[in-house]
Amino acid sequence: MSGTERTASVAIVIRTKDRPEFLRRALVSIVGQSFGDWQAVIVNDGGDPALVRETVAELDAEQQAKFRFVDSAESRGRWVSANAGVLATTAPLLVLHDDDDTWHPEFLARATAYLEQRPERVGVVARIERLWEERDASGVLVPVRREVFQGHLANPTLSAALLFNRFVPIGYLYRRSLHEEFGLYEEALPVIGDWDFNLRVLSKHSLEFLEGEPLAYWHHREGVTGSAGNSVIHASDDHVKYDELVRDEALREFVDQFGLGLPLYLTKFVNGRIANLERQLRREIREEGERTRAEMLRISTITRLKRLARRGIGSRDE
């Protein structure tokens, strides 16, 4: 390993496969950081290695020297690739930078400063902007809609994450020691491996959002499939399937330790509350419908009386 790799503060793991357009944009995002003490590894998950090298070769020599490559002859999946990148780096801080996402130039500077000032914290999450993009007439990807992802949350808590993942890798800088504590990403999961890992971390540690504007940009392309698609969109069925499997495994672990009592009680209790809410909603809809029909009848009657009055029907002179 080079001296840069031994002394860098941050390791950036980039997973890619035959997406040079996205990778080029990601590299611009990385080398454009105001914080420069980083090393990066590009994990080529079964794609053409030449495309990766050619894209990196577009950078200047000093920038190129900060990148390493891990190539796989066949596609092994997102979380096998993530683990390969983690294991190929040595820096004490880690972040996964998907090849189609980007950063604000101050992301690394702000996130590393936070962790330097708070050694008790195991990681930090930047505010994340969800950015939908489409190709314009010339084929260039341009943003068409933006929103802050989970902007209503004060912090990325365990209680919030139990429902679904509240932050994605592009906005999360964390200490390598978390892998020593919780292991690597679960390679059996084709999707949601980040949520699974985040749950393990949040079960023992608290995290905070960086204050201020979003510093991480999570790109989406609706209706796009294949290599240019987003797994959260075109692999949504997998997200549902593996969400259920993660929950079921956690439930079995709980039952194995504490028995069926609490899950049995909560299942009946929650189902009863939902049934009551459904009955209340149906009653309110029915009552609202009756009020609406009565109001429509009243308006119709008034309208008819006015029409009759204009025609002189029913007047005293008739």
pLDDT in tens, 15-38: 999 999 999 999 999 999 999 999
Least confident span in 18-32, 38-52, 173-187, 253-267: 253-267
Give pLDDT, residue 315: 44
Token pair recorded at residue 227? 């290599």
Q: How confident is the model at residue 271 (pLDDT cuts 50, 70, 90)?
A: confident
Distance in angstroms (rounded) separating the CA atoms of residues 133 and 144: 5
Give the model confidence (pLDDT) of 27-84 as tens digits: 999 999 999 999 999 999 999 999 999 999 999 999 999 999 999 999 999 999 999 9
Section 228-256 average pLDDT: 81
Q: What is the pLDDT of residues 91-120, one digit of tens each?
A: 999 999 999 999 999 999 999 999 999 999
Tell me the two tokens of residue 144. Answer: 């068409």
HSE-up of 255 (CA within 13 Å, CB side)? 11
Residue 80, φ and ψ in degrees, nearest 5: -65, -40
Q: How far apart (Å, rounded) are the C-alpha atoms in residues 37 and 11?
A: 9
**3-class SS at 164?**
coil
233 pLDDT higher than 60: no
Whether 317 has a pLDDT exceeding 70, the answer reads no
Q: Is residue 53 classed as helix, strand or coil in its secondary structure?
A: helix
Cα dist from 35 to 32, 111, 127, 280, whole Å: 9, 10, 18, 56
Confidence of residue 229 (pLDDT cuts 50, 70, 90): low
Higher pLDDT, 143 or 234: 143
Q: Higher-confidence residue: 308 or 158?
A: 158
Sign of torsion over alpha carbons 2, 108, 58, 13: positive
Q: What are the domain boundaries of the chain?
A: 3-256, 260-318
Q: Which CATH number fits domain 3-256: 3.40.50.1970, 3.40.190.10, 3.90.550.10, 3.20.20.30?
A: 3.90.550.10
Banded pLDDT at 133 (limits 50, 70, 90): very high
Q: Report the pLDDT value the prediction gives residue 78, as an integer from 0 to 100.
A: 93
* Cα–Cα distance, 297 to 290 (Å, whole number): 11
Question: Is residue 231 scored above 60 in pLDDT?
Answer: no
Could you tell me which of 1, 4, 77 has the C-alpha nearest to residue 39?
4
Q: Which pTM was predicted?
A: 0.81
